[in-house]
Structure 1
Amino acid sequence: MKFSLLFVIVWMCWVGECHGQQTGQEPRYYQTYPSKLTSRFYFSRKYTGMGLEKDGQGLWYMPNSTLNTGVGLSYQNMTLNLAYGFGFANPERGRGETNYLDLQAHVYPKNWVIDLFGQFYNGYYLGQDNLPFPDREELLFPDMKLRKVGASVQYLFNGDKFSYRAAFLQNEWQQRSAGSFMAGMELYGGQVRNQSGILPAALRTQFDLRQIKFMEWAPTIGYAYSLIVKKHFFLTLSAASGPSIGRTSLRDATEAVERNWAVRPNYFLRGFTGYNSERWSVNVNYVYNQVNLAPVAGYRVHVGTGNYRFNLVYRFAPGPKLGKKLHWVERTKEKLLGQ
């Protein structure tokens, strides 16, 4: 899937270049709205799961996180979103209960891509339905805890023509196809633990795994491209990866610890599609980050963090009273930039 996404991005770049050669005069690539408010109504779900593989047996641990309904506002580079997971949108499906605090910040200054993560999850279930365990209770891990913190910072080389904010925040409007290379670095650390066992009982015969700790660092390089059709419809894809240098340690029920260092690639994928115009935007987007840990004792583990969202957006100019209250944002920005 990851290699297919890279192929699609290269194809989109070629198509976009062909379209760009047909224009004689160079219009702006994207429109900004510095004096308008961008309001949104959205549905979203965040999650952080763990994949574990040993001897060809793959397990995928997922939290029972909620589908959230929310509203938000963006003004210039500031965004505030408020959301809640209502019960009618989250029926009981036998997946147990998850308590979590999921902090994800995806910040897109003109020439930068900044992602911050703080994942604190308690309670997991095994996502596959075809596992050879007769008791459904064996698929629930209510005491399993996952912690992941980290950051990814990348420089966007073509921020004058390509806008991440148009695709993700919708406070800009990408009107011409454009792309950009990016490069930077990322750092992640965390652990997974369960004092009653991470593995199902049927798989604990050789190694009763109780804790996984990890630390990862990687330089990254990637490419992003927005394909614009008839000025309003867009498809934006982005992929970044790098050779991650990491250390992983496993602890079993007897307190025995096994460690290993290795180099494995991490992935950061983003996809956005929808309709954009002067006032309205309707779109869906998906952001996925995968951290591949150093293999230890034959165990291959990865931690995947995702965020998918449906947005209905409306831009409008604030009234005179609200405009005065928002004016301090512009003055503060000018002071910080020394203007």
Structure 2
Amino acid sequence: MKFFLLCVCVWMVSVHNSQGQQTKDDTLYYQTFPSKLVGRYYLSRKFSGMGLEKGGERLWYMPNSTLNTGFGLTYQNLTLNLAYGFGFINPERGRGETNYLDLQAHAYPKNWVIDLFGQFYNGYFLSGDNLQLADGEDRLFPDMKLRKVGASVQYLFNGDKFSYRAAFLQNEWQQRSAGSFLAGMEVYGGQVRNQYGILPTSLAREFDLRQVKFMEWSPTIGYAYSLVVKKHFFLTLSAASGFSVGRTSLHDATGAEERNWAVRPNYFLRGFTGYNSDRWSVNVNYVYNQVNLAPVAGHRIHVGTGNYRFNLIYRFAPGPKLAKKLDWIDRTKKKLFGR
């Protein structure tokens, strides 16, 4: 049900983003491909981890998420990707087993940037070669669970000249350098829990942490810029941040609770680079969102969510029969939004 509702929301955003007539500024800065299909082969990995600082020790809990490979198709702004994490590209490295459902939607209507998150992870390991643990302490936390839901909505002030879709969806082609300011808001909530303890034994003597709950809200501001070289090579960077008002509560093994309200900075980073043309595109991209929680009882915690991907893209015109079947997208737009 969660997956179905999220797909409906993404679809509504996608069909609302009309690929209609371009202005003169549009054609000078980027080109759209409203009648072409965008096919892709890709490699991708998603993750949601937790960083924790306590007593001078820095811990980074990571899931053993898989590197997935698959194929996708985009028509206008409606995208379907199917991938699988095959065993031969995910060798066993002693990181335990993670079961997860990671729902990340990154939608880019012309003047908006919309990100939706639904992370449901079971099973973590402590990352870092320099981590000092006592003899006999295990790096694996198979019963540790992380849940995070949230949304970020930002307005793109210069959507006539700057295109996120050229970098992320590859259904447009940024041909000249351009940038834009961003402003919006975000909200996140979730929890991390482990009935057997979140902290290594050597750090759990004063406070045996079993559960973390959080809720945050923040206005955001940022900037994005695409540097285009010789019309085809591009580097797109984007950063947004805001001071969030949030509440964090910690629960120990006895059920005792400690909580705190605080204002903390969050940030959202995106990077895209590669080659683009009217038919082919090759690129790599990385999206990272960090939510910094209100510190409680000497614990400084953040939740980091990321997605990195390699794309090999080919754009092509659908045949007459397929083109007729795709007309329902345009008809649906007109019925819902009158255009």
TM-score (norm 2): 0.91
Q: For residues 199-253 of structure 1, what are the alpha-carbon distances to aligned partners after superposition, in whole Å with 9 as ceiling and x for unaligned? A: 0111111110000000000000000000000000000000000010000000000
CA distance in 1, matches of 2:226, 2:26: 17
Q: Partners of 2:276 and 2:43 in 1: how far apart?
A: 18
Q: Tell me which residue corresponds to 2:278.
A: 278
Instruction: Name the aligned partner's letter for residue 271 of structure 1.
Output: G
**Shift in Å at residue 337 of structure 1?**
2.4
Structure 2 counterpart of 1:148, one-letter code: K
Which residue does 1:327 correspond to in 2? 327
- Does residue 338 of structure 1 match 2:313? no
Q: Where do residues 162-241 of structure 1 align in structure 2 (5 Å cutoff)?
A: 162-241=162-241
SS at match of 2:92: coil
Is 1:84 the equivalent of 2:95? no
CA 27–69 in structure 1, closer or farther in 2 if over 3 Å, else same: closer
- Please list, as runs of the form range in 1=range in 2, the aligned pairs for 1:114-133 lying within 5 A after superposition: 114-133=114-133
TM-score, normalisation: structure 1: 0.91
Give the AA of the match of 1:307. N
Unaligned residue ranges in structure 2 (runs of 5+): 1-24
Tell me how far 1:335 sits from its aligned partner. 2.4
How many residues in Structure 1 have an aligned counterpart in Structure 2?
315
What is the identity, as a one-letter code, of the residue corresponding to 1:181? F
How far is 1:167 from its partner?
0.2
> Letter of the aligned partner of 2:278 in structure 1?
E
Q: Does the 8 A contact of 1:70 with 1:82 survive in 2?
A: yes
- Residue 143 of structure 1 is matched in structure 2 by 143
Distance 1:201 1:26, change over 3 A: closer
| Number of the residue aligned with 2:59 | 59
* TM-superposition CA deviations, 1:65-115 (whole Å, max 9, x none): 000001000001100000100000000000000000000000000000000
What residue is the counterpart of 2:318 in the other structure?
Answer: 318
State the match for 2:298 in structure 1.
298
Q: Distance in 2 between matches of 1:314 and 1:26?
A: 22
Which position in structure 1 is the counterpart of 2:21? none
Task: Name the CA distance, whole Å, in 1 between partners of 2:26 and 2:221.
Answer: 29
Partner of 1:41: 41
2:15 is matched with none
Question: 1:55 Cα deviation (Å)?
Answer: 2.1
Aligned partner of 2:29 in structure 1 is 29
Q: CA deviation at 1:137?
A: 5.7
1:89-108 alignment runs, 5 A limit: 89-108=89-108
Q: Is this contact kept in 2: 1:138–1:201, CA < 8 A?
A: no
Deviations 1:22-55 (A, max 9, x none): xxx9952000000000000000000000000012
Deviation, 1:135, is 5.0
Cα distance in 1, alignment partners of residues 143 and 135 from structure 2: 18
Larger deviation, residues 316-325 vs 27-36:
27-36
Three-state SS of the structure 2 residue aligned to 1:231 is: coil
Structure 1 range deviating more: 31-40 or 134-143:
134-143
Query: Aligned partners of 2:134 and 2:260: how far apart in 1?
Result: 34
Q: Is the 8 A contact 1:61 1:125 kept in 2?
A: yes
Using the alignment, how far apart are the partners of 1:204 and 1:270 within structure 2? 36
Tell me the distance in 1 between the aligned counterparts of 2:87 and 2:325. Answer: 36
Amino acid in the other structure paired with 2:77: N
Contact 2:26 2:160 in 1 (8 A): no
What do the CA deviations read for 1:241-286 (whole angstroms, capped 9, x no partner)? Answer: 0010000000000111000000000000000000000100000000
Q: Which residue of the partner structure matches residue 3 of structure 1?
A: none
Letter in 2 for 1:50: M
Q: Is the 8 A contact 2:106 2:113 kept in 1?
A: yes
Structure 2 residue identity aligned to 1:336: L
Q: Which moved further from structure 2: 127-136 or 228-237?
A: 127-136
Distance of 2:276 and 2:198 partners within structure 1? 45
AA paired with 2:203?
L
Q: Give the corresponding residue for 2:113.
A: 113
> What SS does structure 2 have at the residue aligned with 1:138?
coil
